[in-house]
Structure 1
């Protein structure tokens, strides 16, 4: 059996860069950006990690008494939840799925131009929505969300024939598409809230964004890709990817979302506990300890570990509630959102960006430090709810830490999306 090649030393193919013909005109910046669908989506996503989080960091620092906070037309935590669930991570999800899903299904790569219209609507929508926040205009906010929804539906249209290709399994691709469809329903709920001011609609939008959109998507991608990447990087690695494990995780996420929408989130503890056991078992079977031989791989494994922690915290919180004790606050939510979603995003997007720009699959010192720093941010945000006496300080640390991680990450990646591949290949 041929020994797998570690990620650090895997050669690029072809080994010699392709050079353009001497008389060929250089491609335009737009042609470069839309050479592959992940480029524009990842570009918008990395910018949003800073742009959409800066006002929330301002809010948290203001609560610490540093200065006056921003004015919000909606409860600030709701705006923060909307931005995070629908305005940051989905850009990465659409870019990744448009790139990876055709390969899952044995199809040719998606053309970069297929992402142009959805990307334009998503970007324009969030710009208009943000303007509506600043101007306190419900009309602009509604228009912005409508544009986001239009771009979202355009992305679903691109992915549908891939996800449900005849004769191909669709556990991963179909579940991912359905999660994105649930996200579209969540955006409709937010539109209803903007138009009618119904708090129930906002709660549905927030809950759907976490438990029916992001959690299923990240679990699908983890289940599909972590064993695959591990088998490519580690010698004598036997991939473990049972379908039942993903079904347990997806079912628990749907159940938790239903309970939360009904106002009985604590009573989801039995399914939360089952999901925690499943996720932690997968971390063990996927050999977290061995992953540290390859930094880029360890980033994925460490990110996934937070999923088991988040589910366990949610289950313990539910059990405490049943016993008449209210504990943990938003710690389970932020273990999931910052601990799992954010760290997995940095890990997966860094890997895809390197691989699809013709660069070696190596996490350099900066990338590794940023990844570890983000785990520190997640720990600080979780501890803020576990240590109430230090909550204000920990929230400020987490806010500044987020920007300290994502600002240099953005500066590192944006030029890559605007430049041709280093190996001269198309895409």
Structure 2
């Protein structure tokens, strides 16, 4: 059986349709670079030009639009490695990507709540979930059944959003995504770190994924589910704090401090650190609203540590690394990549800071949006040419 890289090299069509990561990474980044400034423009009083852009739209497009596209790009590339099956390429990939694009347009239309609008936006994740189930079941890749389950839950959550359960659905979706980060991050971060440390001649390695890691993931999923159902309670807050502490313990075992010379590695550790910070802040916010007087940590601080921080940093970390690897380039970060990492982390820091300092809230939002846009524009500038051209020959 040919490897995924060999199958990509054998593809004779347009380069951008030779692998799932290519169209989805590129255009989801374009969407992200445009979407956040557009939202801030509308939020600050700008003309919506007939588009129904509000806070629900912003949350939906971050989770189901941008992130849905990145997850598709990652899994359509990773699943063939896991199953040994042929990757989705060519016309089937173009159709799947087209469904994603149609969904983005549908969400900008005034009639997005109509039956047609719901179908157009929901089609992509439903079809994508079916593709993942087909690949994992046909490839008998039972280890990754939880991935298929979570993609299915993401598709169902998107439908739930359109059925009117907006706020709870957004919280549930965020919980699904963060559990996915804990699951996949807990596999790839220690694995990539181990490979790099071996080449560097180090002796002490991160531990392999084991039952303790599984226990932490279960605690994290349960804590996030509890918060999604009842966002303000002693139980929700305590569960989130416990999840944050346990994930911090996991991260401390992965030898992140030893990877300081390779940005492609330490950025993964930083992205996971944002997950820890976000869970702790969200737990403090949940507990703080129960006690009297209310605590000093607002819910928005935790939410944006998890979205702008954990999701933003982790997605760019994975996109840059996998783009280099799957296009035949050395796994090392250049100056442009380092700038991207600095910008996205700065955007997260400023966004969390804005939530903690109400007197500078609006200016913080604007600065954070500008930094976010520059980070993704930087990805498009540095990695766009790599995504649309053929893989380098070995």
Q: TM-score, normalised by structure 2?
A: 0.88
Deviation at 1:129, TM superposition (A): 2.4
The alignment's C-alpha RMSD in Å is: 2.6
Secondary structure of the 2:346 match is helix
The aligned residue for residue 383 of structure 1 is: 353
Q: Are 2:86 and 1:137 equivalent residues in the alignment?
A: no
Deviation at 1:365, TM superposition (A): 0.6
The aligned residue for residue 257 of structure 1 is: 225
The aligned residue for residue 276 of structure 2 is: 308
The aligned residue for residue 290 of structure 1 is: 258
Deviation at 1:279, TM superposition (A): 1.2
Check conservation: 1:305, 1:340, Cα contact below 8 A.
yes
Secondary structure of the 1:52 match is helix
Deviation string, structure 1 residues 111-165 (Cα, Å, up to 9, x no partner):
32443332221111212322x1xxx3346x6534422322212211111144356
Check conservation: 1:126, 1:148, Cα contact below 8 A.
yes
Please give the alpha-carbon distance, in whole angstroms, between the structure 2 residues aligned to 1:317 and 1:266: 10
How has the CA–CA distance of structure 1 residues 32 and 188 changed in structure 2, closer, same or farther, with 3 Å as cutoff? same
Deviation at 1:217, TM superposition (A): 1.9
Q: Match for 2:148 among 173, 177, 182?
A: 177
The aligned residue for residue 124 of structure 1 is: 102
Q: Match for 2:18 among 35, 42, 47?
A: 35
Check conservation: 1:223, 1:246, Cα contact below 8 A.
no
Check conservation: 2:42, 2:53, Cα contact below 8 A.
no
Q: TM-score, normalised by structure 1?
A: 0.82
Q: Are 2:55 and 1:77 equivalent residues in the alignment?
A: yes
Q: Are 2:171 and 1:207 equivalent residues in the alignment?
A: yes
Please give the alpha-carbon distance, in whole angstroms, between the structure 2 residues aligned to 1:202 and 1:253: 20
Please give the alpha-carbon distance, in whole angstroms, between the structure 2 residues aligned to 1:138 and 1:296: 39
Please give the alpha-carbon distance, in whole angstroms, between the structure 2 residues aligned to 1:243 and 1:147: 41
Question: What is the 5 A alignment of 1:181-196?
Answer: 181-193=152-164
Secondary structure of the 2:107 match is helix
Please give the alpha-carbon distance, in whole angstroms, between the structure 1 residues aligned to 2:216 and 2:266: 24
Check conservation: 1:118, 1:151, Cα contact below 8 A.
yes
Deviation at 1:318, TM superposition (A): 2.3
Deviation at 1:352, TM superposition (A): 0.5
How has the CA–CA distance of structure 1 residues 278 and 407 changed in structure 2, closer, same or farther, with 3 Å as cutoff? same
Q: Match for 2:89 among 82, 103, 112?
A: 112
Which protein, 1 or 2, shows the higher relative CO under an 8 Å CA cutoff with sep ≥ 6? 1
The aligned residue for residue 183 of structure 2 is: 220
The aligned residue for residue 152 of structure 1 is: 125
Question: What is the 5 A alignment of 1:37-52?
Answer: 37-52=20-35
Q: Are 2:146 and 1:163 equivalent residues in the alignment?
A: no
Deviation at 1:175, TM superposition (A): 2.2
Alignment length (residue pairs): 380
Secondary structure of the 1:383 match is helix
How has the CA–CA distance of structure 1 residues 218 and 233 changed in structure 2, closer, same or farther, with 3 Å as cutoff? same
Please give the alpha-carbon distance, in whole angstroms, between the structure 2 residues aligned to 1:126 and 1:293: 39
Please give the alpha-carbon distance, in whole angstroms, between the structure 2 residues aligned to 1:183 and 1:372: 30
How has the CA–CA distance of structure 1 residues 145 and 118 changed in structure 2, closer, same or farther, with 3 Å as cutoff? farther
Deviation string, structure 1 residues 190-215 (Cα, Å, up to 9, x no partner):
2223xxxxxxx112331222112x11
Larger radius of gyration: 1
Secondary structure of the 1:362 match is coil
Secondary structure of the 2:120 match is helix
The aligned residue for residue 296 of structure 2 is: 327
Q: Are 2:323 and 1:353 equivalent residues in the alignment?
A: yes
Q: Match for 1:243 among 211, 227, 243?
A: 211
Deviation at 1:389, TM superposition (A): 1.8
Q: Match for 1:374 among 324, 344, 349?
A: 344
